[in-house]
């Protein structure tokens, strides 16, 4: 999609995201969506998110979450504008999941 920020740019990035998703499901949490299309209130795609949980990691109990690897400021701003909490580092994301979602 020309002009839409965000994408999975390499096999290495995709493998990292898949490993992260596998770890999430091992924690008995819902699998995230790879290459999630973030849309605005008009249904226009405003960004492609690397890995996202649009209903939160605990549906109805937590805010939408996204993991963004090597994305630009425009993707981060789009995610922020739609109420997502986002992480740009897998270790920080795992720390969030462990401490705030699972509560260990």
Question: Looking at the domain assignment, is residue 41 inside a domain?
Answer: yes
pLDDT tens digits, one per residue of 60-90: 888 999 999 989 899 999 999 999 999 999 9
Residue 52 β-bridge partners: 33, 66
Question: Looking at the domain assignment, is residue 24 inside a domain?
Answer: yes
CB atoms within 10 A of CB 103: 6
Question: Looking at the domain assignment, is residue 2 inside a domain?
Answer: no
pLDDT score at 6: 64
Q: In 22-49, which positions are buried (b, 16+ CB within 10 angstroms) versus exposed (e)?
A: eebeeeebeebebebebeeeeeeebbbb
pLDDT tens digits, one per residue of 3-53: 665 677 788 888 999 999 999 999 999 999 999 999 988 999 999 999 999
Domain residue limits at 51? 11-102
Question: Looking at the domain assignment, is residue 63 inside a domain?
Answer: yes
Question: Looking at the domain assignment, is residue 1 inside a domain?
Answer: no
Question: Looking at the domain assignment, is residue 72 inside a domain?
Answer: yes
Question: Looking at the domain assignment, is residue 26 inside a domain?
Answer: yes
pLDDT score at 8: 72
Residue 97 has pLDDT above 60, yes or no: yes
pLDDT score at 103: 84
Confidence bin at 1 (pLDDT 50/70/90): low
Q: What is the pTM of this model?
A: 0.88
Q: What would the DSSP string read from start to end of 89-104?
A: -HHHHHHHIIIIII--
Question: Looking at the domain assignment, is residue 6 inside a domain?
Answer: no
What is the tally of structural domains in the chain?
Answer: 1
């Amino acid at each position: 999609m020309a002009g839409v920020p965000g994408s999975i740019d390499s096999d290495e990035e995709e493998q990292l995201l898949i490993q992260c998703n596998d770890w999430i499901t091992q924690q008995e949490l819902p699998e995230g969506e790879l290459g999630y299309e973030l849309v605005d209130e008009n249904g226009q795609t405003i960004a492609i998110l690397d890995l996202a949980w649009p209903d939160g990691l605990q549906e109805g109990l937590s805010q939408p979450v996204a993991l963004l690897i090597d994305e630009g400021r425009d993707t981060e701003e789009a995610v922020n504008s739609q109420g997502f909490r986002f992480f740009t580092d897998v270790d920080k994301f795992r720390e969030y999941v462990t401490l705030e979602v699972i509560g260990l």
